[in-house]
Structure 1
Amino acid sequence: MTASALDLGLARKVLADQPFSVLLGARLEVFEPGRAVLALDLDGRLQQQNGFAHGGVLAYAADNAITFAAGTVLGPAVLTGGMTISYVRPATGATLEAEATVASSGRRQAVCRCDLYAVAADGARTLCAVAQGTVLTAG
Structure 2
Amino acid sequence: MQDHPTGNFRERIEASFAHQGAMTLIGAELTRIQQGIVEIELPYNVALTQQHGFLHAGVIAAALDSACTYAAYTMIDADVSILTIEFKVNLMSPGKGDRFLFRGEITKPGSNIIVADGRAYAIGDGPAKLIASMTGTKMAIRGREGISG
TM over 0.5: yes
Give the distance between the partners of 2:42 and 2:32, measured in 1 at CA.
13
Alpha-carbon RMSD across the aligned residues, in angstroms, is 1.7
Give the distance between the partners of 2:10 and 2:116, measured in 1 at CA.
19
Letter in 2 for 1:63: D
- The alignment status of 1:119 with 2:92, answered yes or no, reads no
Give the distance between the partners of 1:131 and 1:25, measured in 2 at CA.
21
Q: Provide TM-score, normalisation by structure 2.
A: 0.85
The answer for the alignment partner of 1:8 in structure 2 is: 10
The answer for the alignment partner of 2:138 in structure 1 is: 135
Would the aligned equivalents of 2:91 and 2:132 in 1 still touch at CA under 8 Å?
Answer: yes
93, 103, 114: which one aligns with 2:107: 103
**Map 1:44-83 → 2, pairs under 5 A:** 44-75=46-77, 77-83=81-87
* Equivalenced residues, count: 137
Letter in 2 for 1:47: T
Percent of paired sites with the same residue:
28
Structure (1 or 2) with the greater helix fraction? 1
The answer for the alignment partner of 1:91 in structure 2 is: 95
Q: Provide TM-score, normalisation by structure 1.
A: 0.91
Would the aligned equivalents of 1:39 and 1:98 in 2 still touch at CA under 8 Å?
Answer: yes
SS at match of 2:15: helix
SS at match of 1:74: coil
Letter in 2 for 1:11: I
Q: What do residues 26-64 of structure 1 show as CA deviations (whole Å, max 9, x unaligned)? A: 111111111100111111111111010000000001110
CA shift for structure 1 position 123: 6.5
Give the number of the structure whose alpha-carbon radius of gyration is greater: 2
Find runs of 4+ consecutive structure 1 residues off by over 6 angstroms: none
Would the aligned equivalents of 2:95 and 2:131 in 1 still touch at CA under 8 Å?
Answer: yes
Unpaired runs of at least 5, structure 1: none
Give the distance between the partners of 1:98 and 1:9, measured in 2 at CA.
20
Give the distance between the partners of 1:111 and 1:94, measured in 2 at CA.
30
Q: What do residues 74-98 of structure 1 show as CA deviations (whole Å, max 9, x unaligned)? A: 2451101110000000011111111
